[in-house]
A and B are shown apart, each in its own frame.
Chain A
Amino acid sequence: MKSFKTCAALGIALALTACSGDHDKHDVGGTGQDVAPQVNAGPVPGSEADLVASAGDRVYFALNQNQISGEARVTLDKQAAWLARYPQVNVLIAGNCDDRGTEEYNIALGQRRANAAREYLESKGVNAQRISTISYGKDRPAVDGDSQDAWAQNRNAITSVR
């Protein structure tokens, strides 16, 4: 999973050479010769990088809330459409919180956010069996730092390919 994220950060053109994990996948069904980097290639279809590029992997929440905002709905609709395209792919939704709550309450609040995202995807026809959830409370912040902006980014539910 980490290598996918690294790929996304490095940019897609570099990804094929930079990440051995991706490279392996490209070799499957190949000719046995090295596959040259394809400058115009997008992310591997059905991969996490593809999810990030096609739908966006995360939605954000207001302080102490688990309501799915209009903006989040747009992202989750895209995730549902993407999941419909790749029915073999299962996902994990991780709920997270900013650090302005207690450790224990935030574990439950993060789970509540992950559930809210899961329920929305289910309402859009994604099979419940394909979605698992987890919460890291405030212990896996997406963004370092303690600004209003950082907190807003840390109140999220992040979908990743299992």
Chain B
Amino acid sequence: MSFFSNKEAEALKAHFSRRSLLGGLAAGGVIASPLRALAQGNSASSPEITVANAHQAPIPIIVPDFGPGVGQRIASVIAADLGNTGLFQILPGEVPPNVQPDFRALKARGARAAVAGTVVESGQLRVEMRLWDVLVGQQIQGTAYTAPVADWRRIAHIIADVIYQRLMGEEGYFDTRIAYVARTGPRRRQTTRLAIMDQDGMNPHMLTDGRWLTLEPRFSPVSEEIAFLSYAQDRPRVYTYDINSGRQRMLGAFEGISFAPRFAPHGKAIILSATTSDGGADLYQVDLASQQRRRLTSSPGVIDTSPCYSPDGQQIVFNSDRGGSPQLYVMSASGDGARRISYGAGRYGSPVWSPRGDVIAFTRIHQGRFSLGVMNPDGTGERILTEGFTVESPSFAPNGRALTFCRQSEAGAGGAGFTSTIGVIDVAGFNEHILPTATGASDPAWSPKRR
């Protein structure tokens, strides 16, 4: 991948204008209504499907085109969403819409489940979808979606979420977005823009103009807001950005650099790190409404950074060099009882707590190489998921089943061969893939499910 020149990036920015962004977001949403069941099936039930056993044996599912044109495009987005999880084996083939299919024939083709759909385009899009359990011969979902034609991708992601949810028994994560930092220009002086795209890398929009160094976007769990670090006016500080209005707000003026923001699970406060004049950094909680701040750690000369709440808001995992080298610690939300949890070889950083609460993802650096892993909140059960020259900044999908992260390659002389990309991998360490981005990209932050 090659970086765009600044001139090209300007053209790109003009293309991804705020107007098109607002148009996309204010599109009125997608309306879903139930369809009549075409087959009630018998009382028998299929053997239970779980994410764990689908890892062992992906679910064979037929995803046919929903008709020509946009119907075909919708089906391919659904197939890509499901296929990228590694939990589904996408089978080609026809499934007739609006009638009960021949279950014996579908079974003979090796399918466990099948989708059928139609698209009617008349000013708006109306997409009808049915999901069949082939083994017991039953309709398990039937829904019609109506939305503006421009929202066809969103309909496809919503349908993929429904299929995932009905078959895995867990919420999907396809109708989501990823905030990130778009990077252009030479490595020594990259232009960085706050940007946002769909979770599959499509529909990228630039949110800031690239004038100042911009890093570390983090999504609010409850609103259309992003917290991030901006070097505006050469005063690096945490800001919030309202996606719909474009309004930016500085989150308190700290004496030093304020950085590494993360929202509390209820969305009403942000926890961050602020550098001190003695060469350290302390953790603070800042209330968003009142801007009141509370200092949580204050060891002289020690760097405490990269804080992240547990999903119940009771604990905080963070990065600290209080023991000599950067390691991971967990403490109570009030700042008491910090205990070290990382004991593998090397230095640790950028911890993030899974929304499921079960694991903490992290970056580990050992002998000059990076790895990305997960461990239990008590530090046991460390597993490395992937590694490379640089793999860092993990961020969980809202259901905790996948992570997005930044992968950078080693640069040769003069910065030749340097790439900065955004990857996605599941928490079992499978199905790693790089998202298609038009520019260099880093600092991914996965959004909650869209409403």
The reply to whether the CB of A111 lies closer than 8 angstroms to some CB of chain B is yes
Determine the chain B residues whose CB is within 8 A of the CB of A123 once the complex forms: none
The reply to whether the CB of B436 lies closer than 8 angstroms to some CB of chain A is no
Determine the chain A residues whose CB is within 8 A of the CB of B363 once the complex forms: 102
Which of these, A66, A105, A141, A146, contacts B188 with CB under 8 Å? A141
The reply to whether the CB of B68 lies closer than 8 angstroms to some CB of chain A is no
Select the residue from A105, A107, A145 with max chain B CB neighbours within 10 A.
A105
0/1 interface trace, chain A 100-112, chain B, CB 8 Å (1 if under): 1111110111011
B188 near A101 with CB under 8 A, answer: no
A68 nearest CB across to chain B (Å): 12
The closest CB in chain A to the CB of B187 belongs to A144
A-binding segment of B103-111, B117-125, B196-204, B252-260: B252-260
The reply to whether the CB of B215 lies closer than 8 angstroms to some CB of chain A is yes
A115 near B278 with CB under 8 A, answer: yes
The closest CB in chain A to the CB of B234 belongs to A134
Interface residues of B in 394-451 (CB under 8 A from A): 408, 410-416, 418, 442-443
Determine the chain A residues whose CB is within 8 A of the CB of B273 once the complex forms: 104, 108
0/1 interface trace, chain B 343-376, chain A, CB 8 Å (1 if under): 0000101100000000000010100100000000
B392 near A103 with CB under 8 A, answer: yes
A99 near B390 with CB under 8 A, answer: yes
Which of these, B236, B350, B415, contacts A102 with CB under 8 Å? B350
Known A107-B259, A135-B257, A145-B413; judge A102-B279 contact (CB<8 A).
no
A103 near B443 with CB under 8 A, answer: yes
Determine the chain A residues whose CB is within 8 A of the CB of B188 once the complex forms: 140-144
Determine the chain B residues whose CB is within 8 A of the CB of A101 once the complex forms: 326, 347, 349, 365
The reply to whether the CB of B393 lies closer than 8 angstroms to some CB of chain A is yes
In the assembly, what is the distance between CA of A112 and CA of B256, in Å?
A: 11
In the assembly, what is the distance between CA of A108 and CA of B278, in Å?
A: 11
The reply to whether the CB of A136 lies closer than 8 angstroms to some CB of chain B is yes
In the assembly, what is the distance between CA of A111 and CA of B256, in Å?
A: 9
Determine the chain A residues whose CB is within 8 A of the CB of B321 once the complex forms: 105
The reply to whether the CB of A77 lies closer than 8 angstroms to some CB of chain B is no
Select the residue from A104, A116, A142 with max chain B CB neighbours within 10 A.
A104
B305 near A134 with CB under 8 A, answer: no
Known A99-B390, A103-B392; judge A112-B279 contact (CB<8 A).
yes
* Count, chain A residues at interface, CB 8 A: 28
Determine the chain B residues whose CB is within 8 A of the CB of A139 once the complex forms: 190, 192, 213, 215
The reply to whether the CB of B216 lies closer than 8 angstroms to some CB of chain A is yes
A9 nearest CB across to chain B (Å): 14
B415 near A144 with CB under 8 A, answer: yes
Interface residues of B in 16-50 (CB under 8 A from A): none
The reply to whether the CB of A64 lies closer than 8 angstroms to some CB of chain B is yes
The reply to whether the CB of B319 lies closer than 8 angstroms to some CB of chain A is yes
Determine the chain A residues whose CB is within 8 A of the CB of B443 once the complex forms: 103
In the assembly, what is the distance between CA of A125 and CA of B408, in Å?
A: 43
The reply to whether the CB of B306 lies closer than 8 angstroms to some CB of chain A is yes
The reply to whether the CB of B248 lies closer than 8 angstroms to some CB of chain A is no
Determine the chain B residues whose CB is within 8 A of the CB of A107 once the complex forms: 229, 236, 257, 259-260, 275, 305
Interface residues of A in 48-100 (CB under 8 A from B): 64, 66, 99-100
In the assembly, what is the distance between CA of A145 and CA of B415, in Å?
A: 5
Determine the chain A residues whose CB is within 8 A of the CB of B216 once the complex forms: 103-104
The closest CB in chain A to the CB of B320 belongs to A105
In the assembly, what is the distance between CA of A112 and CA of B281, in Å?
A: 9
A102 near B306 with CB under 8 A, answer: yes
Which of these, A66, A99, A108, A134, contacts B281 with CB under 8 Å? A108
Determine the chain A residues whose CB is within 8 A of the CB of B350 once the complex forms: 102-105
B303 near A141 with CB under 8 A, answer: no
In the assembly, what is the distance between CA of A116 and CA of B279, in Å?
A: 7
B403 nearest CB across to chain A (Å): 15
B283 nearest CB across to chain A (Å): 11
Known A108-B305, A139-B215; judge A64-B325 contact (CB<8 A).
yes
B179 nearest CB across to chain A (Å): 15
In the assembly, what is the distance between CA of A108 and CA of B321, in Å?
A: 11
The closest CB in chain B to the CB of A66 belongs to B279
B215 near A135 with CB under 8 A, answer: no
In the assembly, what is the distance between CA of A146 and CA of B388, in Å?
A: 14
B279 near A104 with CB under 8 A, answer: no
B317 nearest CB across to chain A (Å): 13
Interface residues of B in 258-286 (CB under 8 A from A): 259-260, 273, 275, 277-281
Known A100-B368, A139-B215; judge A111-B411 contact (CB<8 A).
no
Interchain residue pairs A-B with the least CB separation, the first 5 = A144-B415, A102-B349, A112-B279, A108-B303, A108-B281
Give B residues with C-beta under 8 Å from A: 186-190, 192, 213, 215-216, 229, 234, 236, 256-257, 259-260, 273, 275, 277-281, 303, 305-306, 319, 321, 325-326, 347, 349-350, 363, 365, 368, 389-390, 392-393, 408, 410-416, 418, 442-443
Using A100-B365, A103-B443 as known contacts, list a sample of 14 further A-B pairs with CB atoms less than 8 Å apart, ordered by residue number in A: A99-B408, A101-B347, A101-B349, A102-B306, A102-B350, A102-B365, A103-B216, A104-B306, A105-B319, A108-B275, A108-B280, A115-B278, A144-B411, A144-B415
Give A residues with C-beta under 8 Å from B: 64, 66, 99-105, 107-109, 111-112, 115-116, 134-136, 139-147
What are 6 contact pairs spanning A and B, CB under 8 A? A103-B443, A107-B229, A107-B260, A108-B280, A144-B411, A146-B411
